[in-house]
Structure 1
Amino acid sequence: MPMKLEGSCQCGGVEFTVDSNTPVPYQLCPCSICRKVGGYNGAVNLGAITSSLDIKKGKELIKYASPFSTGTHHWILSFTANIGATRKYSAIKDRGTKKEQKCTSERSFCSNCSTMLWNYDAEWPELIHPFASAIDTELPVPEEMVCILEGSKPEWVRWPEGKKVVVKQYHLSLEDWHREKGLYVE
């Protein structure tokens, strides 16, 4: 049975639950987007089941940062119908460089305190990626961190201490990593 994760924003205005087969917060991304929304050294995303997302409190406070219009995907359409007006923009990876590109994902955040809640990409509609920082449930502790997109990390950002693997590109998918380590929750 998947692990039920409880999450909230910093001000307490948004509370949600979501089921996860991949609850270990092991993968740190220092790309320009993750640092801007996640803080100094980036963000850690978990994997969860989109259909299990249950917003317990604060639907009206949730805003999106998205390159999509509300009609491009059924889930986005039905979700935005439940929460009212949204603000949208196209997140840009490596802004101001030759590698600049628009992202296809949307990030949801609390409009009161700006806590990043989850990331969603219509390319994988069955998955939603809660930010580990928004999860209140005690999460499993990873034996090692996987630090991805090494080339995106500025020199002044330090990798976490302890056992880690540093890779230039994306490593295994969240599901593949959890399965390889025997940590996938059926």
Structure 2
Amino acid sequence: MQLHGSCHCGAVTFSLHSAHPYPYQRCYCSICRKTQGGGGYAINLGGEAASLNVQGRSHITVYHARLPDEDGTGSHPSSAERHFCHLCGSALWLFDPAWPELVHPFASAIDSELPVPPEHTHLLLDSKAGWVEVNAGKNDLQFQKYPEESLAQWHERLGLTQD
């Protein structure tokens, strides 16, 4: 599916191809929660990095979140690049050089009509804010850390893979 997205002020527009366009993963980690706002979580989609076409790139700023060191004595920058419009603050997509073939646009930035997922995965619930209500359906999966299956595996299991 070809996805089209933009920031709120319209200074940045983008498009990319996604074989996995269902917005089903709700991430409650403090980074997504604080950079996305919304309902206390962010929804990331999967897309092909090579197909990403951006207009207004000069208005994009990249944020590297700080992650705690394993020994708990300090922090270090994440390799993940969270792209946002520096004019209006809209979060656009996440890219991590560890997976150079992927880009993860935020569903909130997508202007294309997205398909409704048959279930949701709620992840990093141990990081959610106390005020956040998790509205999980009977088929929804909940994980304290990361889900057991990848984006591709989830789509394949439910017969939702698109070419």
**TM-score (norm. length: structure 2):** 0.89
Q: Is 1:19 equivalent to 2:10 in the alignment? A: no
- Which of 141, 144, 157 is residue 165 of structure 1 equivalent to? 141
Work out whether residues 32 and 93 of structure 1, in 8 Å CA contact, stay in contact via their aligned partners in 2.
Answer: no
Deviation at 1:162, TM superposition (A): 3.7
Measured against aligned partners, the alpha-carbon deviations of 1:114-162 in whole angstroms (never above 9, x if no partner) come to 1010000001000000000000000010111110012111222111354
| Alignment partners' CA distance in 2, 1:8 and 1:175 | 25
Q: Is 1:110 equivalent to 2:109 in the alignment? A: no
| Alignment partners' CA distance in 1, 2:76 and 2:156 | 31
1:41 is matched with 40
Deviation at 1:103, TM superposition (A): 2.0
Identical-pair percentage = 45
Q: Is 1:183 equivalent to 2:157 in the alignment? A: no
1:74 is matched with none
| Alignment partners' CA distance in 2, 1:181 and 1:94 | 36
Measured against aligned partners, the alpha-carbon deviations of 1:43-95 in whole angstroms (never above 9, x if no partner) come to 0000000010011x3121011113xxxxxxxxxxxxxxxxxxxxxxxx12469
Q: Secondary structure at the match of 1:158?
A: coil
Q: Which structure 2 residue ranges, 5 or more long, are not aligned?
A: none
Q: Secondary structure at the match of 1:113?
A: coil
Query: Would the alpha carbon gap of residues 94 and 35 (structure 1) be closer, same or farther in structure 2, given more than 3 Å must change?
Result: farther
The structure 1 segments of at least 4 consecutive aligned residues displaced by more than 3 Å after TM superposition are 98-102
Work out whether residues 40 and 129 of structure 2, in 8 Å CA contact, stay in contact via their aligned partners in 1.
Answer: no
Q: Is 1:121 equivalent to 2:96 in the alignment? A: yes
| Alignment partners' CA distance in 1, 2:141 and 2:102 | 25
CA RMSD in angstroms comes to 2.0
Work out whether residues 147 and 165 of structure 1, in 8 Å CA contact, stay in contact via their aligned partners in 2.
Answer: yes
1:139 is matched with 114
Q: Secondary structure at the match of 1:175?
A: helix
Q: Is 1:154 equivalent to 2:129 in the alignment? A: yes
Q: Secondary structure at the match of 2:116?
A: coil
Q: Secondary structure at the match of 1:63?
A: strand
2:66 is matched with 92
| Alignment partners' CA distance in 2, 1:36 and 1:150 | 14
